[in-house]
Structure 1
Amino acid sequence: MTALTTFLLLVIVFGLLALVLFWAFGIDRRAVPDYTGDDFGLLTEVTAVPTSEAAVVLADRLRTARIKVTVVRRGGLHRLMVFPADAPDAKLLLRDPG
């Protein structure tokens, strides 16, 4: 084998390896993670209160109604987060003073 043949064989092997790796891993099309802390995925904010005590009371009210709730502290407020399907019921329940 000559040096030219060896060189061409290496170029072909590395070219095929590059194609296989590109096919396997390709361009990453996943969503870019949010490092600001403002993205809560599927959760939607239904209300925000200034104290943790108020957040606990409202979260207990939602949990009693079998609505899953998460309390997040952000920017000095306690935000109550629920799934979008539960948001209308949660807002209606939290609007009721009783």
Structure 2
Amino acid sequence: MDGVTVLTSFLLLVVVFGVLGGVLFWAFGNDRRAVPDYTGDDFGLLTEVAAVPTGAAADVLAKRLRAARIKVTVVRRGGLHRLMVFPADVPDAKLLLRGEPS
């Protein structure tokens, strides 16, 4: 009788762990989030509106955008200083950087 009890306990344990594993896989196994970009080329929601070779030029353009209440981030990548803004601000930022009133 002891052999049957041990076998039943073992099978019950296997079933419990199987169900637990299935529930955990259902809850956490379908992770479809994007893989993080470790290359440094993905700036999320920001869009490039200008790229200049020097930091001084980037500061002048960023100051002009900030004066127009456009949030700007300057990123140095590949020898260039990129001015990045949110997509909603791209048209106004490009017009402002070209010297045209928005």
TM over 0.5: yes
Deviates more, 1:36-45 or 1:12-21: 12-21
Equivalent pairs: percent with the same residue? Answer: 81
Aligned residue type for 1:43 = L
Report deviation, 1:25.
1.1
Distance 2:88 2:30 in 1: 33
CA deviations on 1:17-72 (whole Å, 9 max, x unpaired) are 11121122122111111111010000000000000000000000000000000000
* TM-score, L = length of structure 2: 0.89
Residue type of the alignment partner of 1:25: F
Structure 2 gap ranges (5+): none
- The structure number with the bigger radius of gyration is 2
1:1-98 correspondence to structure 2 within 5 Å: 2=4, 3-96=6-99
* Number of aligned residue pairs: 97
Decide which moves more: 46-55 or 14-23. Answer: 14-23
Structure 1 residues without counterparts, runs of 5 or longer: none
Moved more, 66-75 or 88-97: 88-97
Instruction: Give every structure 1 segment of 4 or more consecutive aligned residues whose post-TM-superposition deviation is greater than 6 Å.
Output: none
